[in-house]
Amino acid sequence: MWSEDSALTVFNTPVNERTKMATANRNPEIRKDAVNNRLVILSPARSRRPSDFKSKSQAKSDSNPSSNAQPQCPFCAGNEHQCAPEIFRMPADSTSDWKVRVIENLYPALSRDSQVKSDNEEYCHANGTAGEVSLGGFGFHDVIIESPVHSVHLPDLSPSGIAVVLLAYKKRIEQLCAIDSINYVQVFKNHGASAGASMSHSHSQILALPIIPSIASTRLNSMKEHYNQTGKCVICNIHTDKFLIDESTHFVSISPFASTFPFETWIVPRYHSSHYHELDEDKAIDLGGLLKLTLQKLSIQLNDPPYNFMIHTSPLKVAASQFPYTHWYIQIVPQLSTIGGFEMGTGCYINPVFPEDAAKILREVEVSTTE
**Distance from C-alpha of 45 to C-alpha of 27, rounded to nearest angstrom:** 8
Average pLDDT, integer, range 338-348: 90
Q: What is the pLDDT of residues 240-252, one digit of tens each?
A: 889 999 999 999 9
Separation of first and last alpha carbons in the chain: 34
Residues 109-115: contacts with CB under 8 Å, at least 24 apart: 109/137, 109/139, 109/141, 109/207, 110/137, 110/138, 110/139, 110/140, 110/141, 110/207, 110/208, 110/209, 111/137, 111/138, 111/139, 112/138, 112/139, 112/140, 112/141, 113/138
pTM of the model: 0.86
201 catalytic residue (yes or no) = no
- pLDDT > 80? residue 235: yes
Pairing of strands 265-269, 329-334: antiparallel
Judge whether residue 368 has pLDDT over 80: yes
Above 80 in pLDDT, residue 14? no
Q: What percent of the chain has pLDDT over 90?
A: 67
Give the pLDDT score at 195.
78
Could you say which of 141, 150, 203, 250 is catalytic?
A: 203
Residue 361: which of 255, 256, 223 has the closest Cα?
255
Q: Of 116-130, 279-293, 306-320, which gets the smallest average pLDDT?
A: 116-130
